[in-house]
Structure 1
Amino acid sequence: MPPLLSVEGLSIRYRGAGAPVLAVRDVSFHVNPGEIVAIVGESGSGKSQSMLAAMGLLPHNATAEGRIAFQGRDLLGMSRSDLRALRGSQMSMIFQEPMTSLDPLYRIGDQIMEPILRHQRIGRRAARARALEMLELVQMPEPERKMRAYPHELSGGQRQRVMIAMALANRPSLLIADEPTTALDVTIQAEIIALMRDLQRQNGMGVVFITHDLGLVRHIADRVYVMRAGEVVEQGATGALFSAPTHPYTRALLDAEPNGHKAPPAAGAPEILRTRALRVSFGSGRSRLEILHGIDLDLKAGETLGIVGESGSGKSTLARAILRLIDARGEIRFDGQDLTALSARALRPWRAQIQVVFQDPFGALSPHLSAGQIVTEGLLVHRPDLDAAARDRAAIAALEEVGLPGAARHRYIHEFSGGQRQRIAIARALILKPRLLVLDEPTSALDRMVQRQVIDLLRDLQARHGLAYVFVSHDLAVVRALADRVIVMKQGEVVEQGPVEQVLTAPRTPYARRLMAAAGLEDPGRVGSRQGHRS
């Protein structure tokens, strides 16, 4: 049987102010009908670029050479109209971040119906029935109600189910999944992977699975291609590649798990943060919905508190409440001052002491500002006495502290890798010399090798400056490497808490044990192992 997708000698060049940049070099691979092929590698390896070329979605300044054939048809030589006819019908793609892929102004039902109406000769009633069928197929709870919802009303896992429903609505022969579970918690990841595998078997699709999560690849892929710096450096059957990798880079990827532990806070370190009976609710009157139900936590200078739980458990809401970005009732006391009692104006000086690093640096950093302007934004508010030259010197110092050259301040965000963007986000927070950093999933969108670098950086900065961290994450291996203590949240409540080793290796509650099992732990004592991760 001929391959469903065949890529031969693919090279991709980007035109810019200087000489063209060769992003992908002479790459070849194939996907058979009914086969799942994984393409793995760190950020910037060219894995997503290769599949964007297949879909005809490369930017205007990119040129692809070689041959990409789908069912024997040359995609690179295909007209735009013919390629549009294939996309969304016979070839579909699921992108990494569903919140930026879904239109915030349109209801979910309308967005699923769009590719159906574009590629099938049916009316709106039949298209709506098909869209509802797809939501039921991807096991969306309350599918009728979700048809009328907007993207912001769904959880991350539910938005990803919508993306899968859209991609499969026209029963494609080839599905390209680009990091489809990166931002999801471990239990939702397991559900999404099981769902995709079941749908692939039912429909006999070929699947290209792009990811940096090797634990996930082990349990879903038939074959693997490993990419580095735009080239395929190793390929083979999944079992053979994992058991006996031949290339040093593949071995480095397999060994790139977060490891080590942070140093404990100094003896007698003062308390820096305390919350008591912290509650958050949305809506009004009878429709008022309480999200956080009386959260108590304590944090010392130099200490890291990990917050874990499933999507919708309230962990990010708790982080935003601590930052006073949303209204909350109860007590939030920072360095002895009750922040809930302060007006917005009175709160401003305290904001310099409590900074935040968000999950997605590309979405959190302005594409219209240079890295230097982004890093020094806070100085314009909190240090108006500094002139332009002083701010520039501060930007250089902040960038160098996070491992970037001072000259990087003149570049824009799209010119950096994901890991470099997160370093810029950390520099923006550190330039104000805060005492507390709230880190909301700061490594979830990064590949394992870059994650490890960022973890080392965060531990080093904490030791140097005595910073306290509130660290929100669904990745238990990262939590173990960074946290002193952990609280486990479920439906807005703390169901378990304690020292990181105790909670992760010997959870007491059924919910915490289920969370550990979803992370692929073979037994309670093997938290660092991700051999069965997200199976």
Structure 2
Amino acid sequence: MTKELEIIELSVSAGSKSLLSKVSFSVRAGELVAVVGRSGSGKTLLTKAIMGLLPAQLRAEGEILLGGERIDQLDDRGMDAVRGRRIGMLFQQPKRVMNPRLTVRAHLLEALGAHGAGKARRHEAQVESLLHEVGLAPAAEIAGKRPDQLSGGMAQRAMLAIALAGNPEFILADEPTSSLDSILKSEVLELLRRKQQERGLGILLITHDIASVRHIADRIVVVSDGEIIDQCPTAMIFSKDRHAKTRELVDATQAGPRQRREISSGCILEARSAGKNYTRRSKGRAALEPTTLRLHAGEILGVVGRSGSGKSTFARLLAGLEKPTSGQILTHHEHFTPNAVQVIAQEPFSSFDPALTLRKSLSAAVHRLPVLEATKIVENAMTQVGLPLQLLDRKPGQCSGGQLQRIAIARALLVAPQVLICDESTSALDSVAQRHILDLLLELRDRLGLCLVVISHDMDVIRYVSDNVAVFYEGELVEHRSLDEFLSSAEHEHSQDLVAALSATSGV
């Protein structure tokens, strides 16, 4: 009999408020099922309910069966025999889940149930075998590292090794690639698919990116506002007769060709052999090698590279938040002021004071102006980003991520900038909200003539918005050319890998 994880009429509520409503579907052994939906749709809540990790104030009803046996009625001791043993778990940010004081080896030994020095030595070969299985080498060296010594991709592979150590029947993967660049995302998804096939695992993959799973998922379940609105084999989900909210998710990840603008305006900001070294007396590897690049009014420059490649350091130099240790940042506009370059942060919630209303936060940027004039400027900025003025009287926690990111853009517009630097500004958003923010930035560029520097590890974002692309690799600018040339004939090996990963995860 085929093993199966069944969710039957599962509902989760907080008091009288329904969070999940009569959700029913199943995952068979050897099958990869993707649960797709926007942020706040109930995807993560579903995984917590399955693993028995719901907060005490939430009430669950319905049935969860593993191999025909109900696990929703098990006590903590009973669930301990399920978690990690029969059902493994992959998390969005593995470094936050792993114990920062323990090595990878210690995590794996714990998952293997090997306690004590003698047992640890006997399991050393098994530890190295698991690391080899997920593509981590040299295994002995990786095993001795702590989580903070691993890159994002290595940490996710290590987490998969830990999940596999218990030889589970099923794995729940909650947004395991959302913080990874396009190359690593493609690698981790392919690794999951390969382990599923080799071990006969059932995998439940939670994601908001429907395009990234089209080549690996057997079935797709679409969740919206706590309800399943669509589920079918993967090939059918991209047809035009699906539910409207399914089509919205699909359309957000299948951007059509956009008319590129010819940049004929003059240079307004230039990095001339600008580099940055944070090590003492400039010894050791530089965070950014000397870089020369010119920005023009109305240009959209897509900046891409892996974590630690130097792209954020370059942005901080452009914005004047850091001083270069070599070279210069030059302005070429008579009205260029220190406020002319504004940065939109990656995480909008952390960029606002949670205790203040948004009106007070935005008014701080124009506090030197008369009250009536400042109020008019703030309200005009809200209108420019397409938000109702009523939101100004809310606190950050009362807004969605998409709304707060728009408000962060409105705050940047208050000082009439000439350059907007968007440093991973859409990576925390679901695909629909991400598309809305990108369309807003394109509209502002057209209407206000802004120069946009869009930094992202997501090649879909780079392809959608950019006129030109700059690729950073190990602290160096290795390629700078038009988007069309970059996509059709990338020269650097890393650039070629980025383009290949784009095709693998987007299906175009």
Which position in structure 1 is the counterpart of 2:325? Answer: 329
Which position in structure 1 is the counterpart of 2:501? Answer: 518
Which position in structure 1 is the counterpart of 2:258? Answer: 261
Distance in 2 separating the partners of 1:369 and 1:136: 48
Which position in structure 2 is the counterpart of 1:355? Answer: 342
Residues 295-347 of structure 1 deviation map (CA, whole Å, 9 limit, x = unaligned): 1111012221111234443323322333344553233425349xxxxxxxxxx
Given that 1:85 and 1:119 are in contact with CA atoms closer than 8 Å, whether structure 2 keeps it comes out as no
* Closer/same/farther in 2, CA of residues 306 and 121 from structure 1, 3 Å limit: closer
Distance in 2 separating the partners of 1:78 and 1:396: 54
1:495 corresponds to which of 470, 475, 478 = 478
Cα distance, 1:107 vs. partner? 3.9
SS in 1 for 2:179: coil
Matched, 1:6 2:2: no
Q: Which amino acid aligns with 2:454?
A: F
SS in 1 for 2:261: coil
Q: Which amino acid aligns with 2:38?
A: E
Q: Which amino acid aligns with 1:250?
A: T
Q: Which amino acid aligns with 1:54?
A: I
Residues 43-71 of structure 1 deviation map (CA, whole Å, 9 limit, x = unaligned): 23222221221122333443222112223
Matched, 1:49 2:49: no
Distance in 2 separating the partners of 1:385 and 1:146: 55
Q: Which amino acid aligns with 2:476?
A: E
SS in 2 for 1:194: helix
SS in 2 for 1:191: helix
Which position in structure 2 is the counterpart of 1:218? Answer: 214
Cα distance, 1:357 vs. partner? 2.0
Distance in 2 separating the partners of 1:73 and 1:409: 51
Distance in 2 separating the partners of 1:293 and 1:79: 56
Q: Which amino acid aligns with 1:120?
A: G
Matched, 1:199 2:175: no
1:423 corresponds to which of 406, 411, 426 = 406
* Closer/same/farther in 2, CA of residues 271 and 286 from structure 1, 3 Å limit: closer
SS in 1 for 2:214: helix
Residues 4-28 of structure 1 deviation map (CA, whole Å, 9 limit, x = unaligned): 311111122234xxxx332222110
* Closer/same/farther in 2, CA of residues 465 and 396 from structure 1, 3 Å limit: same
Given that 1:375 and 1:427 are in contact with CA atoms closer than 8 Å, whether structure 2 keeps it comes out as no
SS in 1 for 2:287: strand
Q: Which amino acid aligns with 1:109?
A: T
Given that 2:318 and 2:329 are in contact with CA atoms closer than 8 Å, whether structure 1 keeps it comes out as no
Given that 2:273 and 2:328 are in contact with CA atoms closer than 8 Å, whether structure 1 keeps it comes out as no
Q: Which amino acid aligns with 1:353?
A: A
Matched, 1:453 2:436: yes
Which position in structure 1 is the counterpart of 2:183? Answer: 187
Q: Which amino acid aligns with 1:6?
A: E
Given that 2:300 and 2:466 are in contact with CA atoms closer than 8 Å, whether structure 1 keeps it comes out as yes
Q: Normalization by structure 1: what TM-score? A: 0.82
1:174 corresponds to which of 170, 173, 193 = 170
* Closer/same/farther in 2, CA of residues 414 and 150 from structure 1, 3 Å limit: farther
Q: Which amino acid aligns with 1:46?
A: G
Cα distance, 1:497 vs. partner? 1.8
Q: Which amino acid aligns with 1:77?
A: Q
Distance in 2 separating the partners of 1:153 and 1:325: 27
The range that moved more, 452-461 or 312-321, is: 312-321
Cα distance, 1:368 vs. partner? 3.5
Matched, 1:368 2:365: no
For residues 358-507 of structure 1, what are the structure 2 equivalents within 5 Å? Answer: 358-362=345-349, 364-365=350-351, 368-370=354-356, 372=358, 375-376=361-362, 380=364, 383-385=366-368, 396-507=379-490
* Closer/same/farther in 2, CA of residues 118 and 518 from structure 1, 3 Å limit: closer
The range that moved more, 35-44 or 366-375, is: 366-375
Coordinate RMSD, CA, aligned: 3.3
SS in 2 for 1:175: strand
2:116 corresponds to which of 119, 123, 129 = 123
SS in 1 for 2:506: coil
For residues 228-247 of structure 1, what are the structure 2 equivalents within 5 Å? Answer: 228-242=224-238, 246-247=242-243
SS in 1 for 2:316: helix
Cα distance, 1:32 vs. partner? 0.9
Distance in 1 separating the partners of 2:47 and 2:24: 12
* Closer/same/farther in 2, CA of residues 45 and 402 from structure 1, 3 Å limit: same
The range that moved more, 404-413 or 496-505, is: 404-413
- Unpaired runs of 5+ residues, structure 2, are none
Distance in 2 separating the partners of 1:513 and 1:266: 25
Distance in 2 separating the partners of 1:10 and 1:206: 20
Distance in 2 separating the partners of 1:12 and 1:389: 47
* Closer/same/farther in 2, CA of residues 383 and 396 from structure 1, 3 Å limit: closer
State how many pairs are aligned: 502
* Closer/same/farther in 2, CA of residues 369 and 402 from structure 1, 3 Å limit: farther
Distance in 1 separating the partners of 2:458 and 2:290: 25
Cα distance, 1:428 vs. partner? 3.6
Given that 1:485 and 1:499 are in contact with CA atoms closer than 8 Å, whether structure 2 keeps it comes out as yes
1:299 corresponds to which of 278, 291, 295 = 295
Q: Which amino acid aligns with 2:13?
A: R
Distance in 1 separating the partners of 2:375 and 2:140: 54
Matched, 1:76 2:59: no
Distance in 2 separating the partners of 1:387 and 1:77: 63
Percent identity among equivalent residues? 35
Q: Which amino acid aligns with 1:12?
A: V
Distance in 2 separating the partners of 1:476 and 1:355: 23
Cα distance, 1:412 vs. partner? 4.5
Distance in 1 separating the partners of 2:143 and 2:233: 40
* Closer/same/farther in 2, CA of residues 119 and 508 from structure 1, 3 Å limit: closer
Which position in structure 2 is the counterpart of 1:109? Answer: 103
SS in 2 for 1:167: helix
